[in-house]
């Protein structure tokens, strides 16, 4: 699944790296290393990860003539090690409902990601309740309602402008009442009034925590992969205010810049838990660093 969604990035990186080897082998010197660096950068991985890869290739091969496959393997291993994460699995409460709060800037793919995550959980036979906490946008509530009908799960919603914290509260209450395995709560993502939004997120957290100590068990930050490095600074505020525990990287299929996973992993110091690979219900995959690194360069 991950392999399919990364076609564009692979075309760029794979072809670019192969392109460095017009003849059978190549001498690894500064010229080669600079060209390699430039090609890595085109995937939007940013200078730090690209430098680490460059250094690794230099350390191993400088002054030697190398084959394409040797370099590909070294790059794959370095990417894999940069993406290593121990906590990539979705949290599960020891008992009672697992509460997942989903945050992110409008347009990042938040609502779609909630739909896909719900489908993923339903396919694994979990019961769930959705909370339409983005009460600011009527369209978001409508969209989530459609998802709940498609998936066949309960949804808690209110009128436009109702306090999102009260929706969060009722969602958790509903989850407890029907003994749901998961409660997934949407939140607003408007950037214009960022300060209020951050306070709102903190209030939602408090309300949930009051109802179930230790919840929310997971706070997922949805990022748009096509936004490249811009996504990073935009989402920093969300991550800090909401106490995020993991990332959903949406729209990785639509981007020639899958390399963006590397700086995201580095700068947020959060595990990437899922990647979005299309607009359909099934177009999401649990993120696995190994298959990602392989897919990127195979
Ligand atoms: P929200 O404003 O953050 O809730 O964003 P939406 O969930 O409404 O998504 C914004 C747009 O991105 C919609 O047109 C979605 O269909 C699209 N989208 C979301 N996730 C993905 C994805 O993984 N791949 C692709 N290609 N499109 C996506």
CA-proximal residue: ligand 1, atom 19 (nearest):
109
Report whether 174 belongs to an annotated binding site: no
Residues with CB under 6 A from ligand 1: 104, 106-112, 140, 189, 250-251, 253-254, 276-279, 283
Query: Residue 228: CB partners within 8 Å, gap ≥ 6?
Result: 44, 255, 257, 260
Ligand 1 centroid–CA 113 distance in Å is 7
Got the DSSP string for 8-76?
HHHHHHHHHHHHT-SSSEEE-SHHHHHHHHHHHHTTT--HHHHHHHHHHHHHHHTTSEEEHHHHHHHHH
pLDDT at 1: 46
- Residues of the chain with pLDDT > 90, as a percent, come to 62
Identify the band that residue 67 occupies on the pLDDT scale cut at 50, 70 and 90: very high
Alpha-carbon distances of 207 from 72, 203, 296, rounded to whole Å: 50, 6, 42
pLDDT at 77: 95
Q: Is the peptide bond before 294 cis (omega within 30 degrees of 0)?
A: no
pLDDT at 61: 98
When the pLDDT of each residue in the chain is averaged and rounded to a whole number, the result is 89
Report whether 187 belongs to an annotated binding site: yes
Report whether 203 belongs to an annotated binding site: no
Ligand 1 centroid–CA 264 distance in Å is 19
- pLDDT tens digit sequence for 29-63: 999 999 999 999 988 888 999 999 999 999 999 99
Ligand 1 centroid–CA 109 distance in Å is 4
- pLDDT tens digit sequence for 219-276: 999 998 887 666 667 678 778 878 899 999 999 887 657 788 898 888 888 999 999 9
- Is the pLDDT at 175 greater than 50? The verdict is yes
pLDDT at 236: 80
Identify the band that residue 159 occupies on the pLDDT scale cut at 50, 70 and 90: confident
Ligand 1 atom closest to the Cα of residue 108 is 3
Identify the band that residue 2 occupies on the pLDDT scale cut at 50, 70 and 90: low
pLDDT at 5: 62
* Average pLDDT of span 59-78: 96
pTM attached to this predicted model: 0.91
Ligand 1 atom closest to the Cα of residue 283 is 23
What phi and psi values does residue 186 have, to the nearest 5 degrees?
-80, 155
Q: Is 282 helix (H, G, I), strand (E, B) or coil?
A: coil
Alpha-carbon distances of 197 from 4, 189, 241, 247, 253, rounded to whole Å: 36, 8, 9, 19, 29
* CA–CA separation, 140 and 124 (whole Å): 25
Query: Residue 47: CB partners within 8 Å, gap ≥ 6?
Result: 41
- pLDDT tens digit sequence for 121-135: 999 999 999 999 999
Q: Where are the beta strands (DSSP E) in the chain?
A: 25-27, 65-67, 98-103, 128-131, 154-156, 182-186, 218-224, 246-250, 272-276, 284-286
Q: Is 242 helix (H, G, I), strand (E, B) or coil?
A: helix
Report whether 166 belongs to an annotated binding site: no
Ligand 1 centroid–CA 50 distance in Å is 28
What number of CA atoms fall less than 13 Å from residue 34's CA on the CB side?
A: 3
Ligand 1 atom closest to the Cα of residue 275 is 23
Ligand 1 centroid–CA 243 distance in Å is 23
- pLDDT tens digit sequence for 275-292: 998 999 999 989 989 888
- Is the pLDDT at 167 greater than 90? The verdict is yes
Cα separation of the two ends of the chain:
14
pLDDT at 38: 95
Report whether 188 belongs to an annotated binding site: yes
């Amino acid at each position: 699944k991950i392999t399919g969604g990364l076609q564009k990035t692979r075309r760029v990186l794979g072809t670019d790296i192969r392109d460095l080897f017009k003849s059978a082998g190549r001498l690894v010197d500064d010229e080669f290393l600079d060209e390699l660096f430039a090609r890595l950068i085109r995937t939007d991985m940013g200078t730090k990860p690209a430098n680490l890869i460059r250094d690794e290739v230099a350390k191993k091969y400088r002054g030697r003539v190398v084959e394409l496959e040797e370099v590909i393997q070294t790059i794959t291993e370095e990417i894999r090690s940069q993406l290593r994460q121990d906590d990539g699995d979705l949290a599960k409460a020891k008992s009672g409902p697992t509460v997942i709060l989903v945050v992110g800037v409008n347009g990042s793919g938040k609502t779609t990601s909630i739909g896909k995550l719900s489908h993923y959980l339903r396919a694994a036979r979990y019961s769930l309740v959705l909370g339409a906490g983005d009460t600011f946008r009527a369209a978001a509530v409508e969209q989530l309602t459609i998802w709940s009908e498609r998936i066949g799960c309960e949804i808690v919603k209110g009128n436009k402008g109702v306090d999102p914290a009260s929706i969060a509260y009722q969602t958790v209450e509903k989850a407890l009442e029907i003994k749901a395995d998961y409660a997934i709560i949407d939140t607003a993502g408007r950037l214009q009034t960022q300060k209020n939004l951050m306070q709102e997120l903190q209030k939602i957290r408090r309300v949930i925590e009051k109802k179930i100590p230790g919840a929310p068990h997971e706070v997922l930050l949805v990022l748009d992969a096509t936004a490249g490095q811009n996504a990073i600074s935009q989402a920093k505020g969300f991550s800090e205010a909401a106490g995020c525990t993991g990332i959903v990287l949406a729209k990785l299929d639509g981007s020639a810049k899958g390399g963006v996973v590397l700086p995201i992993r580095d700068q947020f110091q959060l595990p990437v838990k899922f990647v979005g690979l299309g607009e359909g219900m099934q177009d999401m995959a649990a993120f696995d660093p190994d298959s990602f690194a392989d897919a990127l360069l195979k």
